[in-house]
Amino acid sequence: MGAVVPPIFQTSLFLFDTWDEFYKAKETQYDASPEGKCFYSRINNPTLDLVGEKVAALEHTERARLFTSGMSAISAAVMACTKTGGHIVCVDTCYGPTRDFLTDYMPRFGVETTFVVGDDPQEIFDAVRPETSAIFLESPSSIVFRLQDLEAVAKEAKKRGIRTLVDNSYCSPIFQTPADFGVDIVLHSASKYLCGHSDVVAGALATSNEIMREIMENEVQFLGASLPPFPSWLILRSMRTLAIRMRQHSETGDAVARWLRDRPEVERVFHPGFEDFPQRELFLKQMSGSSGLISFQLKDQDEGRLRSLTEALRLFRLGVSWGGHESLCIPLEYHPMDWPEQKWLVRLYCGLEHVDDLTADLDQAFAVGRPRF
Ligand SMILES: *Cc1c(COP(=O)(O)O)cnc(C)c1O
């Protein structure tokens, strides 16, 4: 019919005229290219499959698929890579609920996790045990944006038969493709940049045919967290502008980070795009850009000061998540394992507003005086 945009296959099931067709579709439903029709939308659906193909192409993997959230993609991937009595090594500064899943939930199944700082591959492999089956990376990691050497970790892990997983939400496939460095499973909160419009919660998992086949037959079939057709279609819409949006988030994030660094109130800015970022060489090797997330620490660690600053912001609104059109901020107490003490940080997300409006917003918020007690 010449529609430039593919339709939404808003259907839960698919109909067959013959016994043979039915069984062919059933038997091939886990395959990358199922023969004939799709079978059941928990497993495959044309709209869902189309987004998966696009993510796989961008991530340079054989296959990819969308899940109902970043966490459902992450939990499915972790469960696919371990078993009772198993052990995982994970980066300490990973996304909070990922950390909680590994520390509070997986021990129910007899799976333990050791957390590492992650900037030295030797430290990661020192934490490996005979029963270690997975290394979970997040590069750059949440809040403090630490990198891990993807190639060094993936190479050594492969030798030892350990699977590597990377949460690639910060970069999106536009700025980093971990599979090129040998990483086995690439994960995304598609609620962030892949969606980009703050209207869908979704996740993505990109990997080889072999690993995806295993995940299809187990976690997809049994946990059933496949993204429904309509949100899949919304992600498809979003991905058309992903590269352009990422360029803008990168440019704005970089300008806001530099502006913040020059403020007398600011002690420290966390931003992997700085020329003097401690892991600059690794940044240049594995990333082609920094994105719209920045954190900073105020010199004044008083909670009241932080409260008045974050409430005074007009464009950076208080709210979780990120990756959409609108700027956001979160005040948070943070304590990575290698810091002597907990610090108050502010995480900013730079959306698609004009950079001058964003720095003007920060400027007026800094001008708001200390609250009276
Ligand atoms: C938000 C986020 C997730 C979780 O994704 P949801 O879609 O919210 O489940 C995972 N990793 C990172 C780095 C995130 O920021």
* Rounded distance from Cα 70 to ligand 1 centre (Å): 5
Q: Which atom of ligand 1 is nearest to the CA of 71?
A: 9
- Whole-model pTM: value is 0.97
Pull the structure tokens for residue 345: 């940080």
At 196, give phi and psi (nearest 5°). 75, -5
DSSP β-ladder status, 163-167 and 185-189: parallel
Q: Which residue has the tokens 């719209």?
A: 292
* Rounded distance from Cα 17 to ligand 1 centre (Å): 42
Say if CB 131 and CB 86 are below 8 A apart.
yes
68 in ligand 1 pocket by Cβ < 6 Å?
Answer: no
Mean pLDDT across the chain: 97
Give the Cα separation of 190 and 205 in Å (integer): 10
Q: Residue 370: which pLDDT band, with cuts at 50, 70 and 90?
A: low
Q: List the single range of 33-37, 184-188, 273-277, 358-362 with lowest mean pLDDT.
A: 33-37
Q: What share of the chain is helix, strand, coil (3-state, %, to 5)?
A: 40, 20, 40
Say if CB 275 and CB 340 are below 8 A apart.
no
* Rounded distance from Cα 314 to ligand 1 centre (Å): 25
Q: What is the pLDDT of residues 302-311, one digit of tens each?
A: 999 999 999 9
Ligand 1, atom 9: nearest CA belongs to which residue?
70
140: cis peptide before it, omega within 30°?
yes
323 in ligand 1 pocket by Cβ < 6 Å?
Answer: no
* Residue 227: DSSP 8-state: P
